[in-house]
Amino acid sequence: MELFLLSVLLILTVFCFYYLFKPKQTQNAPLPPGHVHWPQKIFETLDYISKARTNTIHKFIAARKNKYNTKLFKTSHIGQNMVFLCTPEGNKFLFANDYKLVRSWWPITFLRVFENAEEEITPEQVLRARKQFLSSFNEPEALAKHVGITDEVVKDHFKLFWDGSDEVTVYPIARKLTFAISCRLLADIRDREILDELLPAMGDVVAAFFALPINLPGTKFNRAVKGSRKCRKIFVDIIKQRKIDLFEKDRKEANDVLSNILLENHRDGIETKDVVLAKNLVSLLSAAFDNPSVTIVSIIKNLAENPEIYARVRSEQLEIAKGKAPGENLTMEDLKKMKFSMNVLSESLRMEAPASGTFREALNDFTYEGYLIPKGWKVHWSVHATHRNPQYFKDPEKFDPSRFERNDPIVPYSYVPFGGGHHICPGKDFAKLQILIFIHHVVKKFNWEKVNPDEQMVRVPNLKAAKGLPVRLYPYNN
């Protein structure tokens, strides 16, 4: 009898909690269709993880579109009640309503990895430093300066890791390349020992963005926090030394972002804490190197699988090389001539965008397409909802760079590898720049084939080649 009463009490308690914390619906609008409660939510999460590991998240979305609604559905994702928007119109709606209906949101792990180093850091200091860093990447004049420096770093990279090799594993050395480029342009770091010390720590930071926030020894999150602190300490030491080098030698200009910011602040009489600059360097570096390296891997894979496309890319790049003197660096004008190579880059981003999308949080209750999005719920726009959707891209599973040079109109907001709105990727032009320069040199020097013909890209949770993409190299006698 006592067991029966306890069971009844437990059931009543569960129902009370459900109705107590169930979002209040306004305007008589229903919640989007889908599952966010136990036990279904665990199956939603497991299905998403399963699709991610085979890089078929678009099938996860398509199945729910077919079952519930073609425009949106709700599910449980990364531990949150999450509404997926599934159309270009949904993407546009979110991008247009930043800071109105929604705001940017990231998992708590992401925020804690970049914890404040000192309590006295103010948001204004962080925002000013970030704005200074980003302006150095977005302005056309700054980008033009970056071309020659990036070309030098890429040439050195090939001498170190490709030339004279019969086989390379692309993923780890692509990360070394994009990391070296980012460190050179951000802080003029050239010392190989410092780069080799920073990269593993930054790798731990990036790997934990969607990990469980469990700060115990051996966990991804714990390694990320330690990695973030280590990188920040290294950058603080670099900043202190850079101030000495700049101000004692009375230098008026520099080629790296950090030095220019220090000079600008010195001229304006503004004192920014070293730890603020270091924190921004860590957060920007985490974004600057990882995604471009993944796209390089994707391009190498796709060119190996499509020799006729490789031939067109090589022909275009050899034509550009004819106009260069021996040892002469590429320029922005050269990059503008890489039209088909840019199409290859765009198509790789369509099929295998490094980031699945980003998240927003509802600032208040609002309705979309007749459904209620409650305050505090998370909303996700995903490249997988449109990039491989035949409604927007004909024959979406085919790698076809020519789709970007035909007159086929691309539906606005259906192609969103860099996001949109206030939170569009600020480094998108810089990312394209370094990838195009890499393409120029790799096709000039080598043809290649995949060691594992069936190897594909997977998300665990970040996009990567399943086995690192080892390739056999066939060098040209240029």
Binding positions for heme are 425
Q: Extract the tokens encoding 127.
A: 């925002």
Tokens linked to 311: 């031939």
DSSP string, 188-219: ----HHHHHHHHHHHHHHHHTTTS----STTS
> Buried b vs exposed e over 354-379: b needs ≥16 C-beta within 10 Å?
bbbbbbbbbeebbebbebbbbeebbb
The answer to whether the beta carbons of residues 443 and 314 sit under 8 Å apart is: yes
Tokens of 16: 């009370």
Terminal-to-terminal C-alpha distance of the chain: 88
Binding site: what residues are annotated?
425
How far apart CA 184 and CA 197 sit, in angstroms, is: 15
| Partners of 380 in beta bridges | 84, 359
261, burial (CB in 10 Å: exposed 0-12, middle 13-18, buried 19+): buried
> Nearest CA to 357 among 284, 459, 281?
459
Question: How far is the C-alpha of 138 from the C-alpha of 425, rounded, in Å?
Answer: 10
Query: Which of these, 261, 236, 298, lies nearest to 132 by C-alpha position?
Result: 261
DSSP letters, 411-435, are PTTS--TT--GGGS-TTHHHHHHHH
Query: Does residue 449 sit in helix, strand or coil?
Result: strand
What is the maximum alpha-carbon separation in the chain? 92
Tell me which long-range contacts 231-234 makes (C-beta under 8 A, separation of at least 24).
Answer: 231/198, 231/201, 231/202, 231/205, 231/278, 231/281, 231/282, 231/285, 232/117, 232/275, 232/278, 232/279, 232/282, 233/278, 234/194, 234/197, 234/198
Buried/exposed code over 58-97 (b: 16+ C-beta within 10 A; e: otherwise): bebbbebbeebbebbbbbbbbebbbbbbbbbbbbbbbbeb
Residue given tokens 């190989």 in the structure block:
192
**DSSP 3-state assignment of 152?**
helix
Q: Which is nearest to 102 in space by CA: 454, 318, 375?
A: 375
Q: Give residue 229's identity as a one-letter amino acid code.
A: R
Return the bridge partners of 153, or none: none
In the DSSP assignment, the letter for residue 355 is S
CB distance 29 to 367 below 8 Å: yes
